[in-house]
Amino acid sequence: MPLARPAAAVTLESIELRVLHLPLVAPFTTSFGTETVREVIVVRARTTDGEGWGEIVTQHAPLYSSEYTQGAWDVAEQFLVPALLDARTFAPGDVAGILEPFVGHRMAKAGLELALLDAALRAESRSLAEHLGAVRDRIPSGVSVGIQQDPAALVDTVAGYLDEGYVRIKIKIKPGRDIADTAAVRGAFGDIPLQVDANSAYTLADADTLAELDPFDLLLIEQPLQEDDIVDHATLAKRLSTPVCLDESIVSLKAARDALALVAASVINIKAGRVGGYLEAVRIHDLCRDAGVPVWCGGMLETGIGRAANAALAALPGFTLPGDVSASNRFYAHDIVTDPIVLEDGHVRVPTGPGLGIGIDEAALAEATVRRVELRL
């Protein structure tokens, strides 16, 4: 389903980059580490018609992927932003092509493209959701639960999220914190929609352990093996009855096509940052929809900027599984937007205003900013 109508060209005047430090309401532990503060880059694109916002979802350290904040800052400042300023007048759909000579750095590219999409769509008074092809005005909300002290603490934490109304639980696992944790949650809450996320923590040698998850009737196991283990994922998928979902491995439309061709996954997690932008995310959605492969929208602890964009993306018809688009207060006491996403009856609303459909809380933004630069020709 190609985009109904591309966003019109904008004339770029400047791009402002900020590193933010946003404290998390509770530490978030995955197989690759514990975060207590979200470090993220926010992008403001100023055009002759107004402005637009984007978010570069890198983390402080390259633990989830090879990208990290300082690297994204450098590549944006030295190469990506100058290329856009040089191009000056272009449509958001041209951003990927303008930045294509620079290898990789997809999260940085995605954040820049989003700011330009937002600016262009605001100028046209069209919402990002409508532009991407949304067919729903609200989406079911799942929550991602970090590794806790022990399985009993995990059960307590999950109970809190179920009380809030989240319709699907994802728990993080790693070697030694997998079977007992999953059994505890299944045992405590019966047949709730439940899935696990390994963040690449296993190898094919762990196939027997991972097969012990099969009796728990999980929705899926996410990214058990390394990013480039496509063939090993295909081998593992044959051994498990739990559906294998890929996250880290799917860095582009081409990677998604290869993974499906090799039957390395039967479900795909789509994250716009990881794949280089919301427009590439839509292309992966379209591929999977045509192939009958369900997708869901992942999360990277986004601020209200990326969270609004994720809600728009998750409203496309192929997103048939609840995603990690949870309420802002699941991570942040103070978001940087004036209208943070809230949970209503287990769902979040898809923003309908122009562009991202959110306002920026400039005071909160200023307070969270630890570094700022504005680049112009």
Q: Which residues bind to ligand NPG, rule: CB under 6 A?
A: 30, 59, 64, 144, 197, 199, 247, 298-302, 324, 326
If the CB atoms of residues 130 and 339 are measured against ligand NPG, the closer one turns out to be 339
Rounded least distance, CB 20 to ligand NPG, Å: 14
CA distance 17 to 20: 10
CB of 94 to ligand NPG, least distance (A): 28
HSE at residue 352, side-chain half, CA atoms within 13 A, is 6
**For residues 7 and 336, which CB has a smaller minimum distance to ligand NPG in the complex?**
336
- Name every residue whose Cβ is closer than 8 Å to that of residue 215 and which is 6 or more positions away in sequence: none
Inter-residue contact 305 to 44 (CB < 8 Å): no
Q: Taking CB positions, which residue lies at the least distance from ligand NPG? A: 299
Q: Least distance to ligand NPG from the beta carbon of 40, Å?
A: 10
Q: Alpha helices, DSSP H only, in 221-339?
A: 230-239, 253-261, 272-275, 278-291, 304-313
Catalytic residue among 109, 170, 174, 271: 271
Reported as type and span, the H/E element at residue 348 is strand 347-349
CB of 372 to ligand NPG, least distance (A): 23
Q: CA 52, CA 324: separation in Å to the nearest integer?
A: 24
Q: Could you identify the residue written with the tokens 């995990």?
A: 154
- Respond yes or no: is residue 172 known to be catalytic: yes
Strand arrangement, sheet containing 168-172: 142-145, 168-172, 194-197, 221-222, 244-246, 267-270, 295-297
Quick check: 53 and 115 in contact, CB under 8 A?
yes
CA-CA distance, 3 to 215, in Å (whole number)? 41
39 Ramachandran zone, left/alpha/beta (phi>0; psi -120 to 50) = beta
Tell me the closest approach of the beta carbon of residue 128 to ligand NPG, in angstroms. Answer: 18
By beta-carbon proximity to ligand NPG, the closer residue of 249 and 326 is 326
47 vs 326, which CB is nearer to ligand NPG? 326
Closer to ligand NPG at the Cβ: 306 or 354? 306
Contact 280, 252 (CB under 8 A): yes
Catalytic residue among 170, 172, 174, 238: 172
Considering the complex, what minimum distance in angstroms separates the CB of residue 223 from ligand NPG? 7
Nearer CB in complex with ligand NPG: 32/90 = 32
Known catalytic residues are 172, 271
